[in-house]
């Protein structure tokens, strides 16, 4: 009472007192001063008997037992930490999830057991609770001693000492690993493409928006590349959807591998992919990057035991050069892709006005081509084909040359695709056919050895009706026999399953015209077409020949092509033969014919005539040299 009077403050206490029988009882008492104008004038007191000590202890111990069971049996992990992060207490659930006996955990810190990448975060949150005295809740990804990845919802509650300081922190960990897994799965489903696992359109738009916002702030550029496979439909049609899916997955993987970790590769559906590059510095060589991607995609694929080749085209748009909005950039990249596609397989195009020099180029080719035939700017050259066995020139391939007064010498690789897109190839192809047949007639005159002229045909010429009629009429008009010409077609034409191509080829063969597959090995290699179509000759692509001596796998492939051709009684022409070593390899492996700069480049008509009248071998065979 004196203390309350002196201090002028309330006081609560539990004090012992003896009862009438002399047993020690406990009393709970509460006293508060009575103030009048700031002066203590009396005390209000209140007291309650709370039983004897035994009773009190019993009550407390029951209660404690009750709480202890609650804590110990709790499904949540519970641990108490001191200021140094040492565990003062853990329950059995805690020990079980960490993967160690309870006793071993006492006095240890999280960095000792279990340790891991999550420790700094855990420490930081614990220190916050110690310093602020406020509870804290957060999610924690960690790995237990059995290396199992776990996610916990953690609640840290401060526990105070008598002075109101935080003495310890109680941690309650709820295991939400499964919840997290299903959350992640949901996220994956909503924002990722099921087939490839890449981000889908929704996530892409989100990333693109983010990238533009960041770039605006840091005054950087964002590059959007739209990637589309060439002739993907043909793969689907020829090999089935499962194979198509497998190819898409493989392409997705290659695309992801060929960009940096912070770039986004997304799939828009079909065979269309988007790459967002958020950190493009000024002067970054995007052309080089695009080329790298093209190269990554056109390496061969192993699909269902077949080797498949695929190429793609890329359209490129840039923030802020081309547009400031994600939707616009996607649209512009699409336009650029369209332009790239027009250029043929494996091309890329920029959208931006400053970078469309090549689009201009194309326009000039297009307008120049329209008058090229009428203005006599086209010429047919002939590249000799040599029989390995005799060393004699037994034929030639007709190759088109354009001397444009405006553009100079334009290589066919540049103008043929334009002619194909514009349909001018029909007229041009008919002209080539006529020139070639005329030449064949002249070179196969009476008493002369047979000389076969090979003529390149574009698939466009096959798609248009009337090819058979044109060929028949031309042979007749030029006096050329069917056996004097060979038609070169591309592998992709043979993926046509509607039977029209097969019928046409059969009709040519019935006339006595032979058919060669050009650039063999670079196409889709659906080998069964070799049996299904009337094919007489395979022309091994020059990329294989040029790899001889450096690339053992390709060399094996060349051998394999030669033995396949043997099975089907087909002739083989090696294209692009440049060295004596290549000649030796091809001869040793029983290749029939060679064509290439080792022997001769393509020659003008007159030069070819001179060569044929001389009849001297172009070069001695290397083994005889
Ligand atoms: P192609 O049918 O594969 O023709 C072979 C190409 O390889 C020719 O290029 C030829 O000059 C070149 N070549 C020959 N020997 C060698 C060599 O030893 N080394 C190297 N590096 N190259 C060699 P060209 O004449 O530029 O023709 C390119 C392509 O243009 C042809 O490829 C063909 O697809 C197309 N083309 C040419 N003329 C015609 C034509 O009249 N009609 C059609 N539709 N396409 C044609
Ligand atoms: Ca050819
Ligand atoms: Ca070729």
Cα-Cα-Cα-Cα dihedral sign, residues 263, 264, 265, 270: negative
Q: Report CA(441)–ligand 3 centroid distance (Å).
A: 24
Q: What is the mean predicted confidence (pLDDT) over 340-347?
A: 83
Q: Which residue has the higher pLDDT, 353 or 1?
A: 1
Residues 451, 43: Cα–Cα separation, whole Å? 132
Ligand 1 atom having least distance to the Cα of 381: 25
pLDDT in tens, 595-610: 999 999 999 999 999 9
Give mean pLDDT, residues 207-211: 93
Residue 511 has pLDDT above 90, yes or no: yes
Q: What is the pLDDT of residue 525?
A: 58
Q: Has residue 354 got a pLDDT over 80?
A: no
**Ligand showing the shortest atom-to-Cα distance for residue 398:** 1
**For the chain, how long is the longest CA-to-CA vector?**
150
Atom in ligand 1 nearest the alpha carbon of residue 416: 45
Whose structure tokens read 């294989």? 544
Q: Phi and psi (nearest 5°) for 426? A: -65, -50
Nearest to 53 by CA among 97, 82, 107, 15: 15
pLDDT at 614: 81
CA distances from 307 to 503, 527, 553 (A): 27, 10, 13
Interval between CA 53 and ligand 2 midpoint (Å): 109
What pLDDT score was predicted for residue 447? Answer: 86
Report the distance separating Cα 465 and Cα 501, nearest Å.
11
What number of other Cβ atoms are within 10 A of residue 452's Cβ?
A: 20
Instruction: Please state the separation of Cα 312 from the chain's center in Å.
Output: 12
DSSP string, 18-61: E-TTS-EEEEEEEEEEEEETTEEEEEEEEEEEEEEHHHHHHHHH
Q: Ligand 2 centre from 602 Cα, in Å?
A: 12
| Cβ neighbours of 213 (radius 10 Å) | 13
Q: Which residues have their alpha-adjacent CB atom under 5 A from ion ligand 3?
A: 518-519, 575
Q: How far apart are CA 235 and CA 248, in angstroms?
A: 11
Per-residue confidence (pLDDT) for residue 32, from 0 to 100? 78
**Closest residue CA from atom 37 of ligand 1:** 399
- Averaged over 436-460, what is the pLDDT? 95
DSSP string, 351-366: -SGGGTHHHHHHHHHH
Residues with CB under 6 A from ligand 1: 383, 398-400, 411-413, 416, 429, 432, 456-458, 518-519, 542, 575-578, 596-597, 602
Residue 488 CA, closest ligand 1 atom number: 2
Q: Which residue has the higher pLDDT, 540 or 494?
A: 540
- Stronger pLDDT, 530 or 350, i.e. the higher one: 350
**pLDDT score for 476:** 97
pLDDT confidence tier of residue 59, bands split at 50, 70 and 90: confident
| 601 alpha carbon – ligand 2 mean position (Å) | 14
Model pLDDT for residues 551-586, shown as the tens digit of each residue: 888 899 899 889 988 888 999 999 999 999 999 999
Q: Which ligand neighbours the alpha carbon of 595 most closely?
A: 1
State which of 411, 456, 492, 493 you would mutate to test the pocket of ligand 1, scoring each by most atoms of that ligand within 8 A of its C-beta.
456
1: pLDDT confidence band, cut at 50, 70 and 90?
low
Confidence of residue 544 (pLDDT cuts 50, 70, 90): very high
The least confident of 492-501, 531-540, 577-586 is 492-501
pLDDT at 517 over 90: yes
Instruction: Give me the pLDDT at residue 581, please.
Output: 94
Closest CA to 373 of 404, 338, 342: 404
Of all residues in the chain, the percent with pLDDT exceeding 90 is 43
pLDDT, residue 621, reads: 55
Question: The tokens of 534 are what?
Answer: 């009337």
Strands 537-540 and 571-575: parallel
Contact 337, 314 (CB under 8 A): yes
Q: Whose CA is nearest to atom 32 of ligand 1?
A: 413
pLDDT of residue 44: 80
Atom of ligand 1 nearest to the CA of 577: 18
CA of 539 to the centre of ligand 3 (A): 7
Residue 16 scores a pLDDT above 80: no
Probe residue for ligand 1, chosen from 395, 412, 460 as the CB with the greatest number of ligand atoms within 8 Å: 412
Kindly tell me if the per-residue pLDDT of 624 is higher than 50.
no
Q: In the predicted model, what is the mean pLDDT of the chain?
A: 87
Q: Phi and psi (nearest 5°) for 322?
A: -95, -30
Measured by CA distance, the residue closest to atom 7 of ligand 1 is 576
* Residues contacting residue 517 through CB under 8 Å, at least 6 positions apart: 488, 489, 490, 491, 494, 535, 537, 538, 539
Determine which residue's CA is closest to atom 23 belonging to ligand 1: 576
Checking DSSP bridges between strand 264-269 and strand 221-229, what pairing results, if any? unpaired
* Residue-level pLDDT at 52: 66
pLDDT tens digits, one per residue of 268-303:
888 999 999 987 765 556 777 888 899 899 888 998
Contacts of 302 (CB under 8 A, 6+ apart): 308
**Tokens at residue 533, please?**
């179509």
- Per-residue exposure over 240-279, b if at least 16 CB sit within 10 Å of its own CB, e if not: eeebbebbbbbbbebbbebbeeebbbbbbeebbbbbbbbb
Most confident of 162-171, 314-323, 364-373, 451-460: 451-460
Ligand having the closest approach to the CA of 411: 1
The side-by-side arrangement of strands in the sheet containing 272-280 is 264-269, 272-280, 221-229, 312-319, 348-350
User: pLDDT per residue over 79-97, tens digit each?
Assistant: 899 999 999 888 888 888 8
Run of H or E residues at 542: helix 542-547
Band of pLDDT at residue 526, cut at 50, 70 and 90: low
- Rounded CA separation 462/468 (Å): 9
Cα–Cα distance between 599 and 609 in angstroms, integer?
16
541 Cα–ligand 3 center, Å: 6
**Mean pLDDT across 175-195:** 83
Nearest-angstrom CA–CA distance, 437 and 471: 9
Protein residue whose Cα sits closest to atom 42 of ligand 1: 456
Atom of ligand 1 nearest to the CA of 400: 38
> What pLDDT was estimated at residue 5?
65
CB 238 within 8 A of CB 524: yes
pLDDT at 590: 93
Query: What distance in angstroms lies between residue 397's CA and the mean position of ligand 2's atoms?
Result: 7
DSSP for 70-104, please give it. Answer: HHHH-SSEEEEE-TTS-EEEE-HHHHHHHTS-HHH
Q: What is the pLDDT at residue 6?
A: 67
Contact assessment for residue 347 and residue 337, using Cβ atoms and an 8 Å cutoff: no
Q: How confident is the model at residue 393 (pLDDT cuts 50, 70, 90)?
A: very high
Question: What are the beta bridge partners of residue 401?
Answer: 379
- Report the nearest-CA residue for atom 45 of ligand 1: 456
Question: Distance from the CA of 488 to the center of ligand 2, in angstroms?
Answer: 6
Nearest listed ligand to the Cα of residue 417: 1
Under 8 Å between Cβ of 490 and 523:
yes
Give the pLDDT score at 625. Answer: 40
Tokens of 90: 């853990």
Q: Kindly compute the dihedral angle of the four CA atoms of residues 8, 9, 14, 18, in this order, to the nearest 10 degrees.
A: 10
């Amino acid at each position: 009472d004196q203390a309350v009077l002196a201090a002028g403050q309330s006081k609560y206490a539990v004090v012992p007192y003896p009862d009438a029988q002399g047993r020690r009882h406990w009393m709970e008492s509460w006293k508060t001063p009575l103030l009048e104008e700031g002066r203590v004038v009396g005390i209000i007191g209140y007291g309650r008997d709370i039983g004897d000590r035994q009773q009190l202890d019993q009550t407390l111990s029951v209660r404690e037992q009750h709480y202890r069971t609650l804590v110990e049996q709790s499904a949540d992990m519970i641990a108490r930490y001191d200021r140094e992060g040492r565990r003062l207490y853990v329950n059995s659930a805690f020990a079980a999830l960490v993967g160690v006996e309870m006793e071993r955990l006492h006095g240890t810190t999280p960095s000792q057991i279990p340790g891991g990448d999550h420790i700094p975060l855990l420490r930081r949150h614990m220190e916050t609770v110690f310093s602020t005295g406020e509870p804290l809740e957060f999610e924690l990804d960690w790995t237990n001693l059995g290396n199992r990845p776990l996610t916990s919802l953690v609640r840290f509650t401060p526990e105070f000492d008598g002075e109101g300081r935080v003495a310890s922190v109680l941690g309650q960990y709820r295991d939400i690993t499964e919840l997290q897994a299903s959350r992640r799965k949901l996220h994956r489903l909503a924002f990722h493409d099921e087939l490839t696992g890449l981000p889908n359109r929704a996530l892409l738009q989100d990333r693109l928006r983010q990238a533009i916002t960041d770039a605006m702030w840091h005054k950087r550029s964002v590059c959007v590349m739209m990637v589309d496979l060439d002739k993907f439909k043909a793969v689907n049609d020829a090999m089935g959807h499962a194979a198509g899916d497998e190819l898409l997955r493989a392409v997705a993987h290659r695309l992801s591998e060929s960009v940096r970790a912070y770039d986004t590769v997304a799939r828009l559906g079909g065979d269309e992919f988007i790459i967002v590059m958020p950190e493009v510095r000024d002067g970054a060589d995007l052309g080089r990057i695009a080329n790298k991607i093209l190269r990554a995609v056109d390496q061969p694929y192993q699909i269902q035991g077949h080797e498949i080749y695929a190429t793609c085209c890329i359209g490129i748009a840039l923030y802020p050069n081309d547009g400031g909005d994600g939707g616009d950039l996607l649209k512009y990249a699409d336009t650029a892709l369209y332009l790239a596609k027009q250029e043929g397989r494996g091309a890329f195009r920029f959208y931006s006005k400053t970078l469309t020099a090549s689009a201009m180029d194309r326009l000039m080719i297009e307008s120049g081509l329209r008058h090229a035939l009428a203005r006599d700017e086209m010429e047919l050259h002939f590249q000799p084909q040599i029989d390995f066995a005799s060393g004699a020139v037994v034929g030639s391939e007709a190759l088109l040359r354009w001397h444009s007064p405006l553009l100079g010498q334009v290589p066919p690789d540049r103008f043929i695709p334009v002619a194909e897109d514009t349909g001018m190839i029909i007229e041009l192809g008919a002209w080539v056919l006529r020139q070639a047949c005329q030449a064949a007639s002249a070179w196969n005159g009476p008493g002369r050895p047979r000389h076969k002229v090979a003529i390149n045909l574009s698939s466009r010429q096959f798609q248009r009706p009337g090819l058979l009629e044109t060929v028949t009429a031309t042979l007749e008009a030029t006096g050329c026999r069917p056996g004097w010409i060979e038609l070169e077609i591309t592998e992709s034409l043979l993926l046509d399953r509607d039977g029209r191509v097969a019928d046409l080829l059969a009709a040519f063969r019935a006339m006595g015209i032979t058919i060669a597959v050009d650039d063999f090995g670079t196409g889709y290699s659906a080998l069964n077409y070799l049996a299904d179509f009337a094919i007489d000759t395979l022309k091994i692509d020059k990329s294989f020949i040029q790899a001889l001596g450096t690339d053992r796998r390709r060399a094996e492939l060349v051998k394999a092509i030669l033995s396949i051709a043997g099975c089907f009684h087909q002739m083989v022409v090696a294209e692009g033969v440049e060295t004596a070593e290549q000649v030796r390899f091809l001869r040793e492996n029983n290749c029939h014919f060679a064509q290439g700069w080792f022997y001769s480049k393509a020659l003008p008509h007159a030069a070819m005539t001179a060569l044929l009248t001389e009849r001297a071998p172009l070069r001695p065979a290397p083994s005889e040299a």
